Amino acid sequence: MCGRFALYEKLEKLKEEFPQVFFPQSLGNNQAENHLPEGNKLEPRYNISPGTKVLGIAGNSQGMKAGFFHWGLVPAWADNAKTSYKMTNARAETLGTKKSYHRAFEQRRCVILANGFFEWLRADSGKAPYFIGLPNHSLFAMAAVWERWLGPVAESEQPQELISTSIITTEASDQMAPIHHRMPILLRPQQIQAWLYEGYQHPEEILKPYSGQLEIFPVSARVNSSRNHGPDLINPLCL
């Protein structure tokens, strides 16, 4: 699964990595928290949790655009937004058949950007957090789906548009399996445009465990609380 991750690349680096993607001055919808801070900088985030805004890319063969998504998918037919807390991850094996996801899988695919994600190893002494990413903490994209929902996000609020997402998971790679039996779908650069293009005939072929080398190491238990932030959360822990 994927319950926490980190993204700390500067906006300039994102633009270099994805030159074909439009990064607007104001990302996402018109909500104030989606605007880039003064100076056109993207704030580093080392402990991104469900229910918050996550940076991703959506689009098609005509173009791709970056924006923020609410992490926790709310289906268009849902009565309220409370389902988002249960739908942070979508299983690759059932994307095409589950009512909550099959339409988004066909028409509304996206990717979520990250430098790494956290997973917890169960042991006799409790659960120990690990940070998992590519060598040198390189930027990568996680396959996801998105939905558009209209309604009051909180009681007494006027209806508003909520763009939400679920990160897709699959069975763990051989390297990841000792830590956890599930992992997000990590996409290689050449796979991203194919995944986003709704005319792509076999998107399920992309939904495979990552076969490349991963960098995995234990980190501080401070990451267990979503209230904790800072670069120290991804420092390797000496065992």
Q: Is 106 helix (H, G, I), strand (E, B) or coil?
A: helix
Find the length of the chain.
239
Those residues with Cβ within 8 angstroms of residue 4's Cβ, 6 or more apart along the chain or in another chain: 47, 48, 49, 117, 118, 223, 226
Marked catalytic residue, from 2, 9, 110, 147: 2
Confirm if 115 and 7 have CB atoms less than 8 A apart: yes
Respond yes or no: is residue 2 known to be catalytic.
yes
* Residues in Cβ contact with 125 at an 8 Å cutoff, skipping those fewer than 6 apart: none
- Name the active-site residue from 9, 17, 93, 119: 119
CA pair distance 177, 160, nearest whole angstrom = 41
If you write DSSP's letter for every residue of 24-86 in order, what string do you get? -SB-SSS-GGGBPPTTT-PPPEEEE-TTSEEEEEEEETTEEEEEEEEES---TT-SSGGGGGG
- Active-site positions read 2, 119
